[in-house]
A and B are shown apart, each in its own frame.
Chain A
Amino acid sequence: GESVGLHLPTLSVQEGDNSIINCAYSNSASDYFIWYKQESGKGPQFIIDIRSNMDKRQGQRVTVLLNKTVKHLSLQIAATQPGDSAVYFCAENINQAGTALIFGKGTTLSVSS
């Protein structure tokens, strides 16, 4: 299963499926975007980032897509594994020293075997 387009608070997929998690960001001046994974009771863990001069960036099993026209960010996870189960947040920043990350709403990803 996968979700495209709108932000969903929860996403349930089967192990091995591809997952797509969406995020709409708010500030048109933002030019640095990051996806974080947060497991229960822990701090956010960096997954992948992208700067506004790019529209796609790939990592290991993950891809981030950026659409500045509609202020939309997505995270694609290939071959989702049970260990990917967590809450995923996007964050934005105006790429200026001393400025904080602003977090979007999270999506809880549940992966069943």
Chain B
Amino acid sequence: GAVVSQHPSRVICKSGTSVKIECRSLDFQATTMFWYRQFPKQSLMLMATSNEGSKATYEQGVEKDKFLINHASLTLSTLTVTSAHPEDSSFYICSANEGWSTEAFFGQGTRLTVV
């Protein structure tokens, strides 16, 4: 099946700094990528939909200036957590759909810890 690579898998950063997470589709072109957030023992919550070449669509309650999304190519979307705070510590997961397919392929997730 198609492979989505997410990097880094783990990151620890200091409060106030920014962290960038990359999501790459390795063997297919992804018109649309999705970013999810998962707190311990909870489900995946959709944060935003990332569309190649256009602005991301954010879910209600997700601050777009806090979570910057860039989808500059058909194989790469990035999520930047700006001015990170301890409450931003979470597991961030991306998924990508090949072309206009509804089948989603998930990255392995990024564990962000803000200290």
Which residue numbers of A lie inside 8 Å of B, CB to CB?
Answer: 32, 34, 36, 41-46, 49, 89, 93, 95-106
* B108 A43 Cβ-Cβ under 8 A: yes
Residues of chain A with a CB closer than 8 A to B105's CB = 46
Complex CA distance for A96 and B97, rounded to whole angstroms: 11
Q: Main secondary structure on chain B at its contact with chain A?
A: strand
Instruction: Tell me which of B46, B95, B109 contacts A102 (CB under 8 A).
Output: B46
Instruction: Tell me which of A36, A41, A98, A105 contacts B49 (CB under 8 A).
Output: A98
Verify if B31 is at the interface (C-beta below 8 Å from A). Answer: yes
Instruction: Tell me which of B32, B45, B108 contacts A42 (CB under 8 A).
Output: B108
Interface string of B79-97 (1 = CB under 8 A from A): 0000000000001010101
Instruction: Tell me which of B42, B95, B111 contacts A101 (CB under 8 A).
Output: B95
* A100 B43 Cβ-Cβ under 8 A: no
Size class of the B contact interface (CB-based, 8 Å): 20 to 34
Complex CA distance for A99 and B51, rounded to whole angstroms: 11
Contact (A89, B102) CB under 8 Å given A98-B51, A101-B34, A101-B95 = no
Q: Report 22 cross-chain contacts, Cβ distance below 8 Å, ordered by A residue.
A: A34-B104, A41-B109, A42-B109, A43-B107, A43-B109, A44-B93, A45-B106, A46-B106, A49-B103, A89-B44, A97-B31, A97-B100, A97-B101, A98-B32, A98-B51, A100-B34, A100-B49, A101-B34, A101-B95, A103-B36, A106-B42, A106-B43
* A98 B93 Cβ-Cβ under 8 A: no
Verify if B78 is at the interface (C-beta below 8 Å from A). Answer: no
Verify if B6 is at the interface (C-beta below 8 Å from A). Answer: yes
